[in-house]
Amino acid sequence: MAAAAVAAVRAWFWNERFWLPHNVTWADLAGEPDGELQYPRASHVLSAFPLALGIFAVRLLFERFIAKPCAINLGIQDSGAHRAQPNAILEKVFTSITKSPDGKRLEGLSKQLDWDVRKIQRWFRHRRNQDKPTTITKFCESMWRFTFYLSIFLYGIRFLWTAPWFWDTRQCWYSYPFQPLTSRLYYYYILELAFYWSLMFSQFTDIKRKDFLIMFVHHLATIGLITFSYMNNMVRVGTLVLCLHDASDFLLEAAKLANYAKYQRLCDAFFMLFGVVFIVTRLGIYPFWILNTTLFESWELIGPYPSWWLFNGLLVTLQILHVIWSYLIVRTAYKALVRGKVSKDDRSDVESSSEEEDVTSNSTKGVFSTSSNGSNRINGHVAGGQWTEEE
Query: Higher pLDDT residue, 355 or 242?
Result: 242
Query: Higher pLDDT residue, 122 or 237?
Result: 237
Question: What's the whole-number mean pLDDT along residues 114-139?
Answer: 87
Question: What's the whole-number mean pLDDT along residues 96-117?
Answer: 89
- Integer distance in angstroms from the first to the last C-alpha of the chain? 43
CA–CA distance, 55 with 157 (Å, rounded to integer): 21
Residue 355, pLDDT > 70, answer no
Task: Return mean pLDDT, the chain.
Answer: 83
Beta carbons of 223 and 49 less than 8 angstroms apart: no
Residue 109, pLDDT > 80, answer yes
* pLDDT at site 190: 95
* pLDDT at site 248: 95
Going by the DSSP 8-state scheme, the letter that residue 305 receives in this structure is: -
Residue 95, pLDDT > 50, answer yes
Give the list of residues 6+ apart from residue 224 with CB closer than 8 angstroms, or none.
none
* pLDDT at site 81: 62
Helix orientation angle between 88-96 and 117-130, rounded to the nearest 10 degrees: 60
Distant-in-sequence contacts of 23-30, Cβ < 8 A, 24+ apart: 24/177, 28/178, 29/177, 29/178, 29/233
pLDDT confidence tier of residue 391, bands split at 50, 70 and 90: very low
Residue 128, pLDDT > 80, answer yes
* pLDDT at site 361: 34
* pLDDT at site 84: 80
Minimal CA–CA distance to 297: which of 254, 237, 386?
Answer: 237
What share of the chain has pLDDT > 70, as a percent? 83
Residue 231, pLDDT > 50, answer yes
pLDDT, tens digit, 9 for 90 and up, residues 34-65: 666 789 998 999 999 999 999 999 999 999 99
253 three-class SS: helix
CA–CA distance, 362 with 357 (Å, rounded to integer): 9
Residue 386, pLDDT > 50, answer no
Q: Which of 31-45, 109-123, 156-170, 352-366 has the lowest mean pLDDT?
A: 352-366
* pLDDT at site 356: 37
Residue type, 273: L
Residue 380, pLDDT > 60, answer no
Going by the DSSP 8-state scheme, the letter that residue 387 receives in this structure is: E
